[in-house]
Amino acid sequence: MAVSTLIPANAMNFTENQQACIVLEKLWSQREAGRFCDVVLHVQGQKFQAHRNVLAACSPYFDSVLKTHKVIKEQLTVTCQNLDAFQLLLNYMYTGAVVIDKNNVSELLRLANHFLVIKLKTYCAEFLDRYLDPSNCLSVKEMAEKYNLPVLQKNASAFIHNHIVEVFDQNEILEFPFSKLETFFKEKQCLIPQHVLLSFICKWVDHDVSKRESDLRTLLTFINWNSIERPYLDDHLKSCNLFRKNPKCMYLLLTCLEENKIELLDFQSVYDSLKGQYGPGGSNVDNDSFMNIAISAAIHGLQKYPSSNNTEENTPITVAPLEKDQVKEKTSAPPPEEPAKLSSGNEETSNSSFDTTAPDCSIDIDYDDDSQSSEDEKSPTTTPATNNRRKIFPQKLKFKSRKLYFNVFHIYLRV
């Protein structure tokens, strides 16, 4: 008699809750032994054997890069900064378990984000959120923004908002570059007590004076000076290590105070002394400012102390045409009975005007040499006025430019 005729027509369901774990455990054992593995992962010169189906099931990234139909065992290279972190990731794919700590969380989060292992990425975010403190909140917020973790980013921002003073006491923010620090100030400027901000700016610059000294002036503009009590400001100026050892930084701060109408009081004499050294007229000016000052001084010197060796060079050159009604100068001793006239017209000549119609672009100037005057006295009375004028071509002007250049050069050598 068939057994089926003796059993009631009722069905029973059996479920092995641990089946998935058992299979993964077997696959893990096979991977450790190198059995049935069909892919090799190369990480920092080391080889990790694995099963294609396990990698593809746990990571959409591997699911897309692994070939559907393989001919030989595939070889993949993985870029990783921490070999132990990659080992943890691979073990997590086979076991579903992972141990996260402060040493591996950054690299684990990067790998989980790269390979699209969403659950592991969530675990890393929970770990970072759990251990937020003033020493790491800035880095955590940066990682949350980088790896698109909005909840963690919101929590980190709130933590910074509530612990802003403690954040400025940490070494982490001292390593910020100028551009990053400037952005942070713009976001949190209204939250930072102004005396704390001043103290931190000095501390940040002093952390690397040679590279950050030039940024001090810009950072000081973020401070609301009217919010800082005068006794604190005086004490800070006297005790700050940055200002004691770096007079230029002291000058920049005092200049900022003066621009904001803050009385310098006891520091006025110090400021006046530093201004002579670092101000626009001091010895430590930049090249552009120095050249402007030097050129102005050279021009003034040429005008005040003309050379006595060359009469022609001392002749003043008019660089803009004068109107007819402006001051007229006398010609060099023309005969009184017959005024000099232009051969082309009846207008009186002016010794200080340009010959704007000259095709050679030369400049007419007065000629006051004594020898020429004596020759004019001997010349016939019909000599036109143009004989008392001479032309200076561009070559002459170029020579005067060279002289100006040498005057500038000598001033530079004196400084």
With cut-offs at 50, 70 and 90, classify the pLDDT of residue 145.
very high
Helix or strand (DSSP H, E) at 299: helix 287-304
Q: Is 90 exposed, middle or buried (0-12, 13-18, 19+ CB in 10 A)?
A: buried
**What is the SS3 string spanning 200-257?**
HHHHHHHHCHHHHHHHHHHHHCCCCHHHCCHHHHHHHHHHCHHHHHCHHHHHHHHHHH
The pLDDT score that the predictor gives to residue 376 is 46
Structural contact between residues 250 and 256, judged by C-beta atoms closer than 8 angstroms: no
- How far does the chain reach from its first CA to its final CA, in angstroms? 123
The pLDDT score that the predictor gives to residue 22 is 86
Structural contact between residues 222 and 185, judged by C-beta atoms closer than 8 angstroms: yes
The pLDDT score that the predictor gives to residue 88 is 95
pLDDT in tens, 315-348: 443 334 444 444 444 444 444 444 444 344 444 4
Measure the CA–CA gap between 22 and 318, rounded to whole angstroms.
Answer: 103
Of the given ranges (190-194, 238-242, 355-359), which has the lowest mean pLDDT?
355-359
pLDDT in tens, 30-56: 998 889 998 999 999 999 999 999 999
Assess whether pLDDT exceeds 90 at residue 149. Answer: yes
Measure the CA–CA gap between 52 and 81, rounded to whole angstroms.
Answer: 23
Measure the CA–CA gap between 55 and 42, rounded to whole angstroms.
Answer: 14
* Residue 45: other Cβ atoms inside 10 A: 6
pLDDT in tens, 239-293: 999 998 999 999 999 999 999 998 888 888 899 889 888 877 555 544 444 445 4
Assess whether pLDDT exceeds 60 at residue 127. Answer: yes
